[in-house]
Structure 1
Amino acid sequence: MADTTVSDTASATPDKDISGPILKNLLEKGQDTKTTFRVDATACIPDEFDKIQEIVKNWCDEKKLALVITTGGTGFGVRDLTPEAITPLLEKLSPGLTYAMISSSLKKTPFAALSRPVSGIRGKSIILTLPGSPKGAKENLEAVLSILPHAIELVSGGTGEKVHRNMREKSSDHESTKTVAHDSHQCLHHKNTYSSENHGSETLLSNSLSVPVTKRHRKSPYPAIAINDALKIVNDHLQNLETIEVPVNEKLIGYVLAQDVTAKENVPGYRASIVDGYAVVASDGPGVYPVTAISLATSSASTTSLQSGQITRITTGGCVPPGATAVVMVEDTTLVRTSADGENEELVEIHVQSREGSKIREVGSDIAIGETVGRRGELVSAMEGEIGILASSGIKSVHVFRHPVIGVLSTGNEVADHNEAIELKYGEIRDTNRPTLLSIIQSVGFEAKDFGISRDSPQELESKLRSALPEVDVLITTGGVSMGEMDLLKTILERSLGAKIHFGRVWLKPGLPTTFATIKLNEEQAREKLIFALPGNPVSAIVTFYVFVLPALRKMSGYTNWELPTVKVQLSNTIKLDPRPEFHRVIIHFDHETGNFKANSTGIQQSSRLLSLRGCNALLKLPAREDLLSELSKGTFVEAIVIGQLLDSSMIKNGV
């Protein structure tokens, strides 16, 4: 935070400033609520409009301090300009804070009515203007001091849950809290770091392994952030992987071009016939002509020039002889005479007048040398002809973005490998998350590594993570991210491995405990490893994979349109809304009668019910329930994320 004294006298002789040091001492030592702050900057300036605005704008906009306090210049004096200087800078007013400050002073003296404080928000900074008198400044600050941390977190984008938790925690809990200050971003600290960019992500929020279960969090310390905020955080940590050279063959399928590609050869490389027929001199016109040669689609084509009054029999793709200016289709001719043995054509009648260049593919007419045949960001598919285009124009290999290597790890004492030929013990479940995610990853063309199952043991989990991370670009885990005693993943990531958890909960259904973290294993590591710690419930894991992980993998691989495609669909069922935004599993198909995509719910949407994914090819993006909107009725149009093959009504009727 920053504290500035606005006073002509104090600015001339700063050692006479009393209010500033009093406020600084109060902020750093706190009240009986143990609310303490770190003061990052102080200043003494004269009562000048421009100077007041200049320093406040610098602290808010450049240094991005979370709290800026001025003292002085709020009275009725001729030189009291602070409210007039500050008010134009405020993007939002905070009348509640202003009222709290004035009312506290009015309890002490009626002269407090002559004070003109203002307060509000600029960017992600809170600005308070306090009186110049030491007593009045102290009283005003004390009136709002205990609620400032909550206000700061809300302004910085948080939910406020963290502040309530910190105020409840005992001092022993605070001793294990780490605070990090950045040279490029100074901000107020209330035990934890309040940052307009990081929302306290430098603070270790996870339980310490040494803390007994009785002292652990009863509610998650991680604020449940909005879906779009979570997606933005992930996106901010994505970058294209390095480029590699891949030959132009079936191995190229699924890669994205890393640079524009230009043709090295003309297509065609010779004058080629488009049809089966006869090469002619167009100006000769209709008539009977001798057949002088045959031009087949072969590498040993004749180079003998065709003269006026002659024709050459030619096949599709055959080389048009020099001198020929058109090709006439065989259907527009009549055989007049054959050789004595009947094996060869001697005379053929041409029935049509052809145009110059008719039915001829000129050199480079399809693709010319130097023409762009592939652009950076284009996906090489199996069905859209990219490989054929590249191969035909003489391209032997291309540079593409490397695919990420993805690891998948399941966690949980209750999880049994689905391949093990054993009967489940009471309390055990088959691991469905790992095989499902591995198969999806491989089906979209990425390399997946199976790291098995980790028991809920700190030592085993840490060992598994340390073994997996060096081998992958992205690690996906499932389970261990909720509030149970054995949900250890966040703790191990944060406290044992030094990973940075960017969010630990997302306000969506299913998938509330979804967690995203990054880690650098060493200084030489070129880029961060990404860790998506997904919930253990099977549907939650798969839905959050499609919402968060797959788009990230596509962007890392160079996709220009890396988000999954969406379509507007019409509901075939009435769907009740949840308090959280929901990704509802549906089967969508194109209805030829209405010309719309229609969506049928897959039934009960419980996050453990894998059957809700059976046949699912889309995820409805449902809004959160509101007082005036508790359901979406049949016929409503909703946006849906496409995750599978689109069907039409005929396929539905045939049971496909």
Structure 2
Amino acid sequence: MASTTLRAVLLIVSTTAAKDPSTDASQAVLSDVLEEEGGGHWELVDTKIVPDVATQIQRQIMLWTDVAADTINLILTTGGTGFAVADNTPEAVSALLHKPAPGIVHGMLTASLNVTPFAMMSRPVAGVRNKSLIITLPGSPKGARENLQAVLKTLPHACIQAAGMDSRSLHVGGVRRLEAEAGIRSEPGHFHTHDHHHSHGSTHQHSHSHGHSHGHGHGSLVRYTAPSSNPMSNDPSLGPSRRNRESPFPMLSVDDALNKIKEHTPSPEITTSLVDRSLPGHVLAEDVQARENVPAFRASIVDGYAVVVPKDGNMKGVFPVVSVSHASPGEVKPLKEGEIARITTGAPLPPGATSVIMVEDTILKTMTEDGKEEKEVEILAANVREGENIREVGSDIKAKSSILSKGEQISAVGGEIGLLAAVGVASVKTYRKPVIGVLSTGDEIVQHDRPGDLRLGEVRDTNRITLMCAAKECGYEVHDLGIAADKPGTLEETLREALRRVDFVITTGGVSMGELDLLKPTIERSLGGTIHFGRVAMKPGKPTTFATVPVKNNAGARVTKVVFSLPGNPASAIVTFHLFVLPSLLQMSGITPASLTKVSVTLAHDFALDKSRPEYHRAIVSVGSSGVLVATSTGGQRSSRVGSLRGANCLLCLPSGTEPLRKGAKVDALLMGGIRGKL
């Protein structure tokens, strides 16, 4: 193990540091611990700063654990582990863990409690996601150092195991060899690593019924014949008597459907974006270098007096104030030894000045005759060194240094805009966000805000406004394509016009097996598109359709545009938007990972399962009283039930089955929105 080099990364969780990285002191401290006390095992390969926002913490960790080409062995976070309202790190990290590591947490707390009883106010979390070990540290540099030092020597062993090394081979020679290699000394009162090989396999199966199971409110579909194969959708010109009696499209699993989307979604298009208020949400298509130094001049970091330090460093005495330097443009008079200049924080040093004395280390001796200015000031400092209280040119950012990397998403709160502005970058290469059009179809659909009562058979258009708002909330430009009638020519012309205006079309309705369900035939037979899938084994959303259509752009070049045809039932439409449409949009925007955040949650009550298909159940995820994520159903899950969307912030990934999942069971949840506060 002595020669093993492990890859470590650091995530600083601080809203303050996200706005001004210079305020963070943890990075240097933890980097020193890894380098000086890590036994040569560690290479710190990346450091990121995010604000105290759970979703941003999770996204960055998932980029390291799920997307990075090379395995990250150790992820250290610092900050957000206390009891403040904004302290979200433990909850955000716990939701991502595949294997918790309570022993590491115990080790850190035990070591900290030996220093101060207030260590019990910390809420550390540790565990493994994929092949990466994740440990949360306090935001205090001192506390972060002590916590990391407490467990550092055992971490190479843990990381090598997490990366996949065979445990039997790793443990040859027993615990004494491991302790010797790690440089750990076993003594009474110290931690011991015990070499147990017991198998604890007690399984507890509880089958209590609490009368809180949420069913679907309607019976299962009845089918008497087995599906066969048919190469294309209906030909509307043949009439209803010649239409298919079953879908010609094979039933794909959700994973297979997502793979089809990943395979056939067009690649992101590179464009130039201005560094202004429109930039947040875009992803960089190239590395960005600083155009100039920050600071661009030698600047004072305190209010005080610029001085020329003599060789002996003795600045005690009374000195004339010969000039004033404010943090504003202008010429500054050169300074000679024996003279001083009053200076404010951020102001440029006068030529010749070598240090700055804080105003707290001085006494006013005399004023000008009008009493408005200082004439002489006594300095009380001895042993002054050159360069004190000064920010040197480029000490924050060096010109031509890399400040942001290709693939980073620009946020409105993470400080990237300020960083670009600080170094004079006016425009950057980004991946262009696709422009979306949303269309409803069906003769029965009427505007949602049409006055008056509905006639028999009419349905208000809830899907179009809902999907437009969902897409806009995700940061996309959205065009309203209106309502298209169930007539082949009308639908074709509407889609052709839409594909001239937008990059990405979302339709709802017209994708089932009725004689007036014309979307699939129109895409295939009239527009020359390719339907990559037309059925998915899921509930709700079985008839979801994903297609691509070749068109010519304004320059006459052949390009591919995406069409998603979603079911007409409101719940089905919004579920399939988040599950299928959004990953395609994220991929076209250059955002990774191109998926909803997946977390593990505990069921707050029993959940009924569908007998034949996995279900994506609308639910509300909140932080429970014990700090775990708890999921509660929004009620009946019929695909036409609009009320099941109210308040939902996640989709529970429920398997098919004949028995309900009981209260307390763990399932995966796909987050559609922010996690609620504690129940």
Shift of 1:642: 1.8
Higher relative contact order structure (alpha carbons within 8 Å, sequence separation ≥ 6): 2
Aligned to 1:477: 507
Shift of 1:547: 0.8
In the alignment, does 2:671 pair up with 1:642? yes
Shift of 1:396: 1.3
In the alignment, does 2:425 pair up with 1:377? no
Aligned to 1:247: 274
Shift of 1:285: 4.1
> Does the CA-based 8 Å contact 1:264-1:369 persist in structure 2?
yes
Partner-residue secondary structure (3-state), 1:619? strand
> Does the CA-based 8 Å contact 2:439-2:507 persist in structure 1?
yes
Aligned to 1:260: 287
Partner-residue secondary structure (3-state), 1:541? helix
Aligned to 1:565: 597
Determine the C-alpha separation between the residues in 1 that align with 2:299 and 2:416: 22
The one-letter code of the counterpart of 2:427 is S
> Does the CA-based 8 Å contact 2:304-2:357 persist in structure 1?
yes
Change (3 A) 1:504 1:363: same
5+ unaligned residues in a row in structure 2: which ranges? 1-223
> Does the CA-based 8 Å contact 1:301-1:319 persist in structure 2?
no
1:609 pairs, out of 637, 641, 648, with: 641
Shift of 1:355: 4.6
Determine the C-alpha separation between the residues in 2 that align with 1:208 and 1:215: 8
If you compute each CA radius of gyration, which structure gives the higher value, 1 or 2? 1
In the alignment, does 2:392 pair up with 1:362? yes
Change (3 A) 1:631 1:325: farther
Aligned to 1:18: none
Determine the C-alpha separation between the residues in 2 that align with 1:358 and 1:636: 60
In the alignment, does 2:343 pair up with 1:314? yes
Shift of 1:162: 12
Shift of 1:360: 1.5
In the alignment, does 2:228 pair up with 1:209? no
Shift of 1:394: 1.1
Determine the C-alpha separation between the residues in 2 that align with 1:356 and 1:570: 60
Change (3 A) 1:489 1:299: same
The one-letter code of the counterpart of 2:297 is Y
Aligned to 1:337: 366
Alignment of 1:413-432 (within 5 A): 413-432=443-462
C-alpha distance after superposition, 1:612-632 (max 9, x if no partner): 12122222222222x6xx333
Determine the C-alpha separation between the residues in 1 that align with 2:386 and 2:650: 54
Change (3 A) 1:644 1:277: same
Partner-residue secondary structure (3-state), 1:210? helix
> Does the CA-based 8 Å contact 2:552-2:558 persist in structure 1?
no
In the alignment, does 2:623 pair up with 1:590? yes
2:524 pairs, out of 494, 511, 515, with: 494
2:572 pairs, out of 534, 540, 545, with: 540
Aligned residues: 449
In the alignment, does 2:305 pair up with 1:272? no
Aligned to 1:165: 228
> Does the CA-based 8 Å contact 2:332-2:351 persist in structure 1?
no
> Does the CA-based 8 Å contact 1:602-1:613 persist in structure 2?
yes
Determine the C-alpha separation between the residues in 1 that align with 2:538 and 2:333: 72
Change (3 A) 1:604 1:350: farther
5+ unaligned residues in a row in structure 1: which ranges? 1-160, 167-191, 193-202
Determine the C-alpha separation between the residues in 2 that align with 1:327 and 1:586: 60
Partner-residue secondary structure (3-state), 2:236? coil
Determine the C-alpha separation between the residues in 2 that align with 1:420 and 1:268: 59
Give the structure-1-normalised TM-score. Answer: 0.65
> Does the CA-based 8 Å contact 1:546-1:643 persist in structure 2?
yes
C-alpha distance after superposition, 1:7-30 (max 9, x if no partner): xxxxxxxxxxxxxxxxxxxxxxxx
Shift of 1:296: 0.4
C-alpha distance after superposition, 1:57-80 (max 9, x if no partner): xxxxxxxxxxxxxxxxxxxxxxxx
C-alpha distance after superposition, 1:586-626 (max 9, x if no partner): 222334x423222222122221122212122222222222x
Shift of 1:407: 1.1
In the alignment, does 2:420 pair up with 1:390? yes
The one-letter code of the counterpart of 2:252 is I
The one-letter code of the counterpart of 1:571 is L
Aligned to 1:100: none
The alignment-based identity, stated in percent, is: 49
Determine the C-alpha separation between the residues in 1 that align with 2:362 and 2:660: 71
Change (3 A) 1:248 1:321: same
RMSD over aligned Cα atoms? 2.3
> Does the CA-based 8 Å contact 2:552-2:559 persist in structure 1?
no
Determine the C-alpha separation between the residues in 1 that align with 2:270 and 2:512: 38
